[in-house]
A and B are shown apart, each in its own frame.
Chain A
Amino acid sequence: AQSVTQLGSHVSVSEGALVLLRCNYSSSVPPYLFWYVQYPNQGLQLLLKYTTGATLVKGINGFEAEFKKSETSFHLTKPSAHMSDAAEYFCAVSDQDGGSQGNLIFGKGTKLSVKP
């Protein structure tokens, strides 16, 4: 069965600093991996996803993530944080394993704060 672990429920960075949000997953078969962002009082919006092919995936707003099968990780990065990046970020996994019946399994989320 799949699971998703996001390390750190809160991450704080200074404006212009590197953003690194960690996500590890467990899956018995090659997974599909997603990062979603949620701004206050809004729904979730897709940032990026990995399905097949290139393991470095670029998304919206300058974010990218790298699928590392050997480390079962899909960490989200952005070289330079902007105040507008303050939000909650969710990592999610789906595969054909059957444990989630093909649905998305979400991590508990990481709230990113950006200091001026």
Chain B
Amino acid sequence: NAGVTQTPKFQVLKTGQSMTLQCAQDMNHEYMSWYRQDPGMGLRLIHYSVGAGITDQGEVPNGYNVSRSTTEDFPLRLLSAAPSQTSVYFCASSFGLPANSGNTIYFGEGSWLTVV
């Protein structure tokens, strides 16, 4: 009963390095998304996907790339890490967009990223 699985849980990067945060879900959800959480800012949407092969930008997409080649996986790539990307990242999934009948979003446990 895995739900939404994120790896790694903790990561320290040097400025300019690249890395990929992995996200997988086993609930056959069409909708997946990435949020970042910063103190006092709540959660802000980075990118989202409504199905395999379809991705779109959220509120804070700059510096991040995503792809959705399968229903299960939705990796988030940091192309050239900056200290401003130090944050906690959450992957989430749902049967569909929340605005469609109020679909519930299920969250992963989070990935703590520090860029030095």
Known pairs A101-B48, A106-B35; list 12 more (Cβ under 8 Å).
Answer: A32-B98, A34-B104, A42-B109, A43-B110, A44-B92, A50-B102, A90-B43, A92-B98, A94-B99, A102-B98, A102-B99, A103-B45
Q: CB-CB contacts of B27-59 with A at 8 A, as 1s and 0s?
A: 000000101000011111100100000001010
Check A51/B40 contact, CB under 8 A, given A44-B90, A103-B48.
no
Q: Report if A108-B107 is in contact (Cβ < 8 Å); known contacts: A51-B101, A103-B98.
A: no
Residues of chain A at the chain B interface (Cβ within 8 Å): 9, 32, 34, 36, 41-46, 49-51, 90, 92, 94-96, 100-104, 106-109
Contact B33 A103 (CB under 8 A): yes
Q: Write 7 A-B pairs (CB below 8 A) sorted by A numbering.
A: A9-B40, A34-B102, A43-B109, A101-B58, A102-B99, A103-B48, A107-B42
CB within 8 Å: A-B pair count: 69
Could you tell me if A102 and B97 are in contact, using CB atoms closer than 8 angstroms?
A: yes
Could you give, for residues 80-116 of chain B, a 1 whenever the CB lies within 8 Å of some chain A CB and a 0 otherwise? 0000000000101000011111101111111000000
- Are B42 and A96 in contact, CB atoms less than 8 angstroms apart? no
A32-B99, A32-B102, A94-B102 known; A106+B108 contact, CB < 8 A: no
